[in-house]
Structure 1
Amino acid sequence: MALAKFGVVVLDCPDPRALAGFYAGVLGGTVEGEGDWVDLKVPGGPQLAFQEAPGFVPPEWPAADRSQQFHLDLLVEDLDAAEKGVLELGARPLDTEDRERSFRVYADPAGHPFCLCAG
């Protein structure tokens, strides 16, 4: 018997609306809210939320002293096409050199690591 049910993944960031817009561009969905808390309602997926964090310091990947804490794995049909799309939306590559792997690592505009995974 579960003690709780999954609610939402919340990402701290300096600009919640801008980061919600980035992920809406990647995942689709509807951005709702203003100010220090913004939600992204993703069709057929879990909800993401973005919370303003004054003084936010992004994680570094990979770095033991500024650990990423968590990351999102996003399943895509075509790694090359998805890569082009996330870069156009403002992501930056972190680990994309090995084109034979089934995943590539990026940072969102606020610096959170995420992976595009073949699937």
Structure 2
Amino acid sequence: MAVIELGVTVLDCPDPRALAAFYAEMLGWRVAEDEDDEEWVEVEGPRGRTLAFQRVAEGYRPPSWPGQERPQQLHLDFDVRPADIDEAEAKVIRLGAKLVQPDDGIRDFRVYLDPAGHPFCLCMCER
């Protein structure tokens, strides 16, 4: 075991519970039970994977992707089999994501913004 291991990835947002629900539904994970905490909400997945969402009480400004006025600083990549990419896209859009860069036959990923404006990619790869 390494001395240092990656723990949880945390995304700032104005509504942690809503953004946690988006990612939980998208990934088939579950929102951790702590309905009293509106400042920090975690989504738990397999093998101890966790995404957390932290409230920014005032002045939240989402990244301005693809521009650099407010750089993304971080984005999430999610693997999807090429045969499932259209189904995955329909799901994330139904959940509130916005497609901002489709694959163009050259790229093997599509870029979206989650409901709080964070960029993420659905990356086509065989798993």
TM-score, normalised by the number of residues in structure 2 = 0.86
Query: What is aligned with 1:52?
Result: 55
2:79 maps to which of 75, 79, 96: 75
In the other structure, the counterpart of 1:10 is 10
Cα distance in structure 1, aligned partners of 2:56 and 2:118: 13
* TM-aligned CA deviation for residue 62 of structure 1: 1.0
Alignment equivalent of 2:97, drawn from 85, 91, 107: 91
Give me the TM-score of the superposition, normalised by structure 1.
0.92
CA contact (8 A) 2:63 2:70 kept: yes
Say which SS state the counterpart of residue 26 (structure 1) adopts.
helix
Runs of 4+ in 1 over 4 A off after TM superposition: none
Residues 60-115 of structure 1 show CA distances to partners (whole Å, capped at 9, x for unaligned) of: 11112210001000001211110000000000011116255210000000000000
Partners of 1:74 and 1:85 in 2: how far apart?
Answer: 13
**2: CA distance, partners of 1:88 / 1:66:** 26
1:64 equivalent in structure 2: 68
Q: Percent identity?
A: 55
The alignment status of 1:103 with 2:109, answered yes or no, reads: yes
Query: Displacement, 1:118?
Result: 0.7
Aligned length: 119
Unaligned runs of 5+ in 2: none
CA RMSD of aligned residues (A): 1.6
Contact between 1:28 and 1:43, CA under 8 Å: does it hold in 2? no
Tell me how far apart the structure 2 counterparts of residues 108 and 71 of structure 1 sit (CA, whole Å). 10
Q: Deviation digits for residues 12-62 of structure 1, max 9, x if unmatched? A: 000000000000111111102331000000124621000001221000111
